[in-house]
Amino acid sequence: MKTLTLAFLFALPATGTPVQAASHEHENHHDMAAQQAVATHAGTGVLKAVNAKDGKVQIAHEPIAELNWPPMTMWFALRDPLPYDLKAGDAVRFELMQDEKKQWMIVKIGRK
């Protein structure tokens, strides 16, 4: 009986290891997916219009190489209110990301 008990006790840590390793791999995969989901991309352009009521801005941006975007004029949602000192006609730098609905949103904006 002592031999069986000792064998069982030694076997317990060995059985927990693969489960812990699998759990750790799952956490790493989840972390990588979360990082990809919040990836931001930098851009520059000119602020063309502001729709403060809907929290959107129109920007004529330069090419954004990371996204393979040519220069174009687009409307973007703002995550935060537009800084008070920015107005249509200002050259801006901005960072954007896709939200949970896959819509592009400005997460940071300021003067160029």
Number of domains in the chain: 2
Distance separating alpha carbons of residues 111 and 43, to the nearest angstrom: 12
Residue 26: domain span: 1-37
Lookup: tokens for 26: 């799952």
> In tens digits, what is the pLDDT along the chain, a chain of 112 residues?
555 555 555 555 555 555 555 555 555 545 554 545 569 999 999 999 999 999 999 999 999 999 999 999 999 999 999 999 999 999 999 999 999 999 999 999 999 9
Same domain, 54 and 94: yes
Residues 56 and 84 in one domain: yes
In terms of domains, do 9 and 57 share one?
A: no
Q: Which residue is listed with tokens 């004529």?
A: 60
Looking at the structure, tell me whether residues 75 and 91 fall in a common domain.
Answer: yes
Same domain for 107 and 87: yes
